[in-house]
Structure 1
Amino acid sequence: MKTNMYSIEIANIVKQFLTEDSWNFSFDEEHGIFKFGLRIKGKIHSLKYFISIRTNEIIVYGICPIGVDEEDNKMMMEMAEFLHRVNWGLRNGCFEFDFRDGEIRFRSYIDCDKTLPSIESIKNSIFCTAAMFEKYGAGITSIIFAEGYAQEAIAMCEKKYEEELYSILSEIGDSDLAAMMTRQAESQEITEEGADGEKLPSEEIPKVHMDLFGEKKMEVE
C-alpha cells in the first residue's frame, strides 16, 4: 500500500492558512505540493509559488517569471554575482540560480522537526519571499534587460530601499531614526571602514531593523 512521503498534518495547516486567507491555490496530493501565484510591486509584477511539504519541513519557492539567457555568458556571470552578493548575510532563505536554464528563484525554509508550524511562520515565509523580489527585482531586470553590472545593480537596490525606508520614517514622524539613517547614508562613502581605512568591528556599525510585513496586504491572483 502506497503511503504519502509528506506530513498530512503539516499540509493541512498550510491548507488552512491559504483557505482562510482566500488564496486561489491547487494541491498535488501525491507529492504534497501547493501551487499558486502572487502579484507584487516593483519591476517584477508576479511570482509563481511552490510550497513543498515534507515529513518534517516546509520549503517555500518563489519563482521569478523572467530568467537569464543561458547562452549569454556575461549576463549569466553578472546575475550569479548579483545573487551571491544579495545572499550574503541573509538570515532566512536565499536566492537560487539555475546555470542550466537561467531560472531565478527564492527559497525559504520552515523546520517542523518535532513541532508543527504556526500560521504566522507560514505567512512570513510566503511574504518574505515576495519582499525579497520587491527589493531586488529592479537589479534582476537591469541585468537581464539593460546589460547591467552586478555591483551597480545591488547598489541601486540598496539605495532605493534606504530611500523608501527613510520616507516611511519621515511620514510617521520618527525624526531621530530618520536623521540617523541620513548620517549613515552620508558615511557610506567609506562603507564599513573608518576614516583611516581600517575595518570597523561589525558591532560598531549602526543597524536598522524593520518589519518587512507589517500590515501590508498583497494581491493574490
Structure 2
Amino acid sequence: MAEREYSRELAEAIDNYLIENDWKISFDEDTGVFRFGLSIDGKLQQIRYVIVVGQQSYTCYAISPIGADKDDARMMKEMAEFTCRANYNLKLGNFELDMRDGEIRFKVHVDSTGMVPNRDIIDNSISCPAAMFERYGRAITGIVFNEEKAENAVAKCEEDL
C-alpha cells in the first residue's frame, strides 16, 4: 500500500489504548493502519482487526475468520440477507459482506473532526465489533456450515435482546 496522509494524533491515541491493554499489534507508519487479532467467545473464537486512521476519522474493521463461499449462490444470498437482518437494529456499526469473495466484517467509523477521541470512545469502537461477532457468530456458522436460513439464524441470535 502506498504512503497516505493520516492524523498522527489519532494514531497515537489508538496506539496508547492498544498498548495499555497489552495487545500485540502491528502498525504501518506509512499508511496509518493497525493490525491485530482478538480472541472472542462463541463459535468464531478469533477475529482479525484492521484499523485505518484518516486525517479526521478512523475506521475499525473486524473480520470474520469464516466467510461465505462466493461460488455458492444460495449461501451468498443467505449471507446477504443475514447482513441486512442483523444490521436492522444496530446503533453503532454494521456488518458488511464482500460480494466478490464472501468476506464478512463488522465496521465502526469514528468521526474525530476537531478532537482526539478519549479512551472510552476508542474502547467502544474496538469492543463493539467483538461483541457483535460474539452475538451473531452462530448465525454466520449456521449459514455457512448447516445451510441455515438467515431469518432463523438471526432470530436465534436475537432471542435474548
The TM-score, its normalising length taken from structure 2, stands at 0.96
In structure 2, the residue matched to 1:30 is 30
Whichever residue aligns with residue 70 of structure 1, its letter is K
In the TM superposition, 1:200-211 aligns within 5 A as: none
User: Radius of gyration: which is bigger?
Assistant: 1
Structure 2: segments with no counterpart, 5+ residues: none
Task: Tell me, in whole angstroms, the C-alpha distance in 1 between the residues paired with 2:148 and 2:7.
Answer: 44
1:89 is displaced (CA, Å) by: 2.3
Q: Percent identity?
A: 46
Specify the SS of the correspondent of 1:15: helix
Task: Tell me, in whole angstroms, the C-alpha distance in 2 between the residues paired with 1:20 and 1:155.
Answer: 37
Task: Tell me, in whole angstroms, the C-alpha distance in 2 between the residues paired with 1:4 and 1:81.
Answer: 35
Whichever residue aligns with residue 40 of structure 2, its letter is I
Equivalent residue pairs, number: 159
1:21 is displaced (CA, Å) by: 1.3
Q: CA RMSD in A?
A: 1.1
1:4 is displaced (CA, Å) by: 5.2
Task: Tell me, in whole angstroms, the C-alpha distance in 1 between the residues paired with 2:14 and 2:109.
Answer: 13
Task: Tell me, in whole angstroms, the C-alpha distance in 1 between the residues paired with 2:150 and 2:156.
Answer: 10
Instruction: Classify 1:4/1:147 alpha carbon distance in 2 versus 1 (closer, same or farther; 3 Å).
Output: closer
Whichever residue aligns with residue 6 of structure 2, its letter is Y
In structure 1, the residue matched to 2:132 is 132
Whichever residue aligns with residue 26 of structure 1, its letter is S
Task: Tell me, in whole angstroms, the C-alpha distance in 2 between the residues paired with 1:135 and 1:128.
Answer: 11
Q: Specify which structure has the bigger relative contact order, considering alpha-carbon pairs within 8 angstroms and separated by 6 or more residues.
A: 2
Whichever residue aligns with residue 13 of structure 2, its letter is I
Moved over 3 A (4+): none
1:109 is displaced (CA, Å) by: 1.2
Task: Tell me, in whole angstroms, the C-alpha distance in 2 between the residues paired with 1:66 and 1:84.
Answer: 18
Whichever residue aligns with residue 139 of structure 2, its letter is G
Of the structure 1 ranges 3-12 and 87-96, higher mean CA displacement relative to structure 2 is found in 3-12
Task: Tell me, in whole angstroms, the C-alpha distance in 2 between the residues paired with 1:89 and 1:143.
Answer: 20
Higher-strand-fraction structure: 2
